[in-house]
Amino acid sequence: MNTLKSGINRNVIFIVIVASLGYFVDIYDLVIFSIVRIQSFHDIGIPVTAMRTNGEYVLNMQMGGLLLGGIIWGIIGDKFGRIKVLFGSILLYSFANMANAYVGTINGYAIIRFIAGIGLAGELGAGITLVSESMNKNKRGYGTMMVAVVGVLGALVAFWVAKNFDWRNAYIVGGCIGIVLLALRLGTFESGLFKNTEGKNIVKGKFSMLFASRERFLRYLYCLLIGLPIWFVVGIFVTQSPEFGKALGAADTLSAGKGIVYTYIGISLGDLLAGLLAQITHSRKLTVFIFQVGIIISSIWYLSSTGISAGQFHWLAFFMGLSVGYWATFVTIASEQFGTNLRATVTTTAPNFVRGALIPSTFLFEFFVRRYNIITAGYIMIFVLSAIAVFALTQLKESFNKDLNYLEE
């Protein structure tokens, strides 16, 4: 009995490690564009005046890939198993990132980021689903917390590589790391809950089921809405920090690359604190609400920092990262809200739809920029997105300690 228990524990630990390293590579490849945007655009001949709008174009293409990939990998995860997603997704985004090193036009750049986005879409959802289904319901929050904490450190490595190597090599490194991780995944085990559904007459991975009833659709929608502010902070406030710094009267140009680093240090610590707070309070909803308040406070601080210095920006990027560091808790909530036959679909699509929501958020942000200015647009967007997230949070049931061994009818 002890041997069996020990074996199970070793298997679970291995799954957490593999999922964590997978998310590490995922984050590296997800943020590398934001870090090398200026350098790579300069090399392929994009004029300075077009860098911000072309940056939004390429980033939106990547997010569009994440939207499509979230659906594809989610369905595969529920129909054929979580492990197949972990293998297929890492292969696609690893080769796409290698190809990214050889782009020479803005449209070529955007197409490759779209393909990479499709691949990146499967990593986090499949990993969180596998960890959630493999761990005790009282402890699974620790597993998903560790996946996020280790994963977001990929942003630090991305910055270090981009700082010390050419941007083309930075993309190649990301692809190579993914291929190396692929070998480690050969020893991973499939979820026991998924295995229990194999060979049975159960509808699995049917995306339309999410819209088959009003209650299920709203449950899914609320899961998406609680994550809206996260990627706006990273994708707009931090990625466009050179432009925000100029509007705030910064003496020197703010570095988006360094901003990403400090933001992800904050996110890493935030994910750790969010996981611990949820375990202590036995409430994921209370945890997310506290972090939403942090988003409002840190965003106001950032947008009102007239004459901001590089040092001040780094601290603000850290605090904004800390405040959006409920990412793993958000994904865990989505995973816990649905039955085994739809869990991978939801857990994979939810974070990617939230990432993809940056596309309409960007368009709306640009509308307000043209109508007012970049600072006022930032205020409007963060207040609107946070208000939507808090409302959605109030509509969801608490999922801490929820038994995940059930099906959606």
pLDDT digits (tens, 9 = 90+) for 315-364: 999 999 999 989 888 888 988 888 878 888 888 888 888 887 888 898 89
Q: Are 253 and 242 in contact (CB under 8 A)?
A: yes
CATH architecture of 2-189+210-395: Up-down Bundle (1.20)
Distance, C-alpha 211 to centroid of its chain:
24
C-alpha distances in Å from residue 9, one per residue of 2, 13, 115, 183, 191: 10, 6, 36, 22, 14
Distances (CA, A) of 353 to 225, 228, 360, 390: 9, 9, 11, 18
Residue 33's identity, in one-letter code, is F
Q: Please check whether residue 297 is in contact with residue 317, taking contact to mean a CB–CB distance below 8 angstroms.
A: no
**Residues 189 and 15: beta-carbon distance below 8 Å:** yes
User: What does the CA dihedral 358, 364, 370, 372 come to, rounded to 10 degrees?
Assistant: -110
Each as own residue / partner, the long-range contacts of residues 161-164 (CB below 8 Å, 24 or more positions apart, any chain) are 162/32, 162/35, 162/36, 162/39, 162/257, 163/257
When pLDDT is averaged across residues 196-208 and rounded to a whole number, the result is 67
pLDDT surpassing 80 at residue 194:
no
For residue range 115-155, list pLDDT tens digits in order. 999 988 888 777 777 787 777 777 777 787 788 778 778 87
In this predicted model, what pLDDT tens digit does every residue of 159-193 receive, in sequence order? 889 889 899 999 999 999 888 887 777 666 666 66
**Digit-coded pLDDT (tens) for 270-329:** 988 998 898 899 899 999 999 999 999 999 999 999 999 999 999 999 999 999 989 888
Helices (H), 135-213: 140-152, 154-164, 167-184, 192-195
**Rounded (to 5) percent helix, strand, coil in the chain:** 80, 0, 20
Tally of residues, the chain: 409
